[in-house]
Amino acid sequence: MALRTLATRRALRSGLGLGYQSTRGLKTLSLPDLPYDYAALEPAISGEVMHIHHQKHHQTYVTNYNKSLEQLDAAMAKGCASTVVKLQAAIKFNGGGHINHSLFWKNLAPVHEGGGEPPKGSLGWAIDTNFGSLESLIQKMSAEGAALQGSGWVWLGVDKDFKKLVVETTANQDPLVTKGPSLVPLIGIDVWEHAYYLQYKNVRPDYLKNIWKVIDWKYASEVYAKECP
């Protein structure tokens, strides 16, 4: 446990915090630590949900991505095109799962650390300009998240070419960038059933109502300021 944490801390310091580790020249992934306790988001999200979501689901995406990557490495060394192509689906799904969840953890914060506090600065202005108000944006994202069939994500992103905010949904573990190469995610909300089922059961709209109480707008504001200076 201590070893894993150490390795992750070191990995987090370098670069984007995506938790890369190197084995045999291949950069594999490792599970990033959460910047808060599992129970710190209660009552909006229970400690049990957070624990399984991070330790089991996210870990499985990391493990399976690394497995696929090693298989890809071997297939490329052998020049086996059909295996290289076959592996794409697993890489997209598990790699997407890791990218999305890594962002999701950063999008959340306990209330006493600023969770739920409305965005200030340029992002706050941009939201008012694009959506009328923060409340309308929240309403729009909650409605689109509730209407999404099956598993997926609802996003607030910025189109860095047009300097415009967008709300999008993606299926399964597709990251936002699959909806357009110029889209940068600011907020991603997981609407897979595993994100809320133990606590909210079939009532996804209640989960989407409460999650805004622990959304950390600081991270989103920083990314926005960087993309739209």
What are the residues binding another protein (CB under 8 A)?
52, 56-57, 60, 89, 93, 147, 149-152, 171-173, 192-194, 197-198, 201-202
Nearest approach, Cβ of residue 225 and another protein (Å): 33
Q: For another protein, which is the closer residue by CB, 54 or 218?
A: 54
Q: For another protein, which is the closer residue by CB, 69 or 195?
A: 195
Contact (CB, 8 A) for 136 and 97: no
Q: For another protein, which is the closer residue by CB, 23 or 88?
A: 88
Contact (CB, 8 A) for 12 and 33: yes
Nearest approach, Cβ of residue 198 and another protein (Å): 7
Nearest approach, Cβ of residue 49 and another protein (Å): 10
Q: Copy the structure tokens of residue 227.
A: 């993309």
Nearest approach, Cβ of residue 75 and another protein (Å): 18
How far is Cα 45 from Cα 155, in angstroms, rounded to an integer? 19
Q: For another protein, which is the closer residue by CB, 206 or 222?
A: 206
Nearest approach, Cβ of residue 121 and another protein (Å): 36
Nearest approach, Cβ of residue 46 and another protein (Å): 13
Q: Copy the structure tokens of residue 56.
A: 């089991």
The DSSP annotation for 127-141 comes to HHHHHSSHHHHHHHH
Among candidate residues 111, 125, 113, the one with its CA nearest the CA of residue 225: 125
Q: For another protein, which is the closer residue by CB, 104 or 217?
A: 104
- Residues contacting 206, CB < 8 A, separation 6+: 200
Nearest approach, Cβ of residue 221 and another protein (Å): 31
Residue with tokens 């984007």: 16
Q: Copy the structure tokens of residue 146.
A: 């509730």
Q: For another protein, which is the closer residue by CB, 153 or 224?
A: 153
Q: For another protein, which is the closer residue by CB, 168 or 216?
A: 168
Residue with tokens 């595993």: 194
How far is Cα 19 from Cα 11, in angstroms, rounded to an integer? 5
- Residues contacting 28, CB < 8 A, separation 6+: 20, 21, 22, 65, 66, 69, 70
